[in-house]
């Protein structure tokens, strides 16, 4: 029968191996970050954030029109106009209080904003979709596209979407004032909320939260 007991030397070897693996992963991220060191992040970019000490924090985040991203424990973090290394330093500072020692955070640019000549023309708009969306990110849509049409064109929801609590953030281009609306997509789709479908505007941010237990 094989034993499962490890002596002191075995524990030391496991500890050394873990340290080695962390160092190896950190080196790989550092090489990737170096390749992007000169790029300044823009609204609409998608960033990948990795926290070596807590994989549950790993995620892709969208840079919103106001140039910020949202990250657990760090809250709203300025990203636009910064390099990936500057953003990971800001996130590290924001979440450090939740770790016994300073965490290793690595930010890379996963995809660039889809700003093209066609998306800036009068016939199309750019909206930002995030959360429990099948295909999150910046989307170039036809002017006049409604919320329901946009969701249909971009693949709809994930299985965990709270379809009754969709959030629409809209910024007035003249005043800079931001409005936040909560939309019951399920009621609109079922016909219970007649006329509730909203025509989207360029710069709109659609956020689909995760469904709560028993929701």
d(CA 77, CA 61): 11
d(CA 129, CA 137): 5
* DSSP character at residue 39: P
pLDDT at 5: 45
pLDDT of residue 64: 85
CATH 3.10.560.10 fits 124-208, yes or no: yes
Find out whether 68 and 91 touch, Cβ atoms under 8 Å. Answer: no
CATH superfamily entry for domain 8-111? wza like domain (3.30.1950.10)
Output the pTM of the full model.
0.56
Which letter does DSSP use for residue 40 in this model? P
The confidence band for 94, taking pLDDT boundaries of 50, 70 and 90, is: very high
Confidence of residue 193 (pLDDT cuts 50, 70, 90): low
Domain ranges within the chain, ordered by starting residue = 8-111, 124-208
pLDDT at 34 over 50: no
Q: Average pLDDT, stretch 162-190? A: 85
Mean pLDDT of 43-58: 89
State how far the Cα of 38 lies from the Cα of 71, in Å rounded to an integer: 23
- The answer on pLDDT for 20 being more than 70 is no
User: Residue 3: what pLDDT?
Assistant: 45
């Amino acid at each position: 029968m094989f034993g499962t007991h490890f002596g002191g030397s075995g524990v030391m070897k496991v500890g050394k191996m873990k340290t080695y693996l962390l160092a190896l992963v950190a080196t790989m991220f550092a090489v990737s970050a170096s390749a992007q060191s000169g790029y300044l992040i823009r609204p609409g970019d998608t960033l990948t954030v990795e926290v070596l000490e807590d994989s549950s924090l790993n995620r892709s985040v969208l840079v919103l029109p106001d140039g910020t991203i949202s990250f657990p424990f760090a809250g709203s973090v300025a990203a636009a106009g910064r390099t990936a290394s500057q953003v990971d330093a800001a996130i590290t500072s924001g979440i450090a209080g939740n770790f016994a020692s300073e965490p290793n955070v690595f930010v890379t640019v996963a995809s660039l904003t889809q700003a093209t000549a066609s998306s800036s023309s009068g016939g199309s708009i750019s909206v930002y979709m995030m959360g429990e969306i099948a295909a999150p990110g910046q989307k170039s849509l036809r002017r006049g596209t409604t919320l329901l049409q946009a969701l249909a064109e971009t693949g709809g929801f994930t299985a965990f979407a709270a379809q009754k609590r969709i959030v629409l953030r809209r910024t007035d281009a003249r005043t800079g004032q931001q409005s936040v609306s909560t939309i019951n997509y399920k009621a609109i789709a079922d016909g219970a909320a007649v006329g509730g479908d909203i025509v989207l505007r360029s710069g709109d941010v659609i956020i689909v939260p995760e469904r709560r237990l028993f929701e």
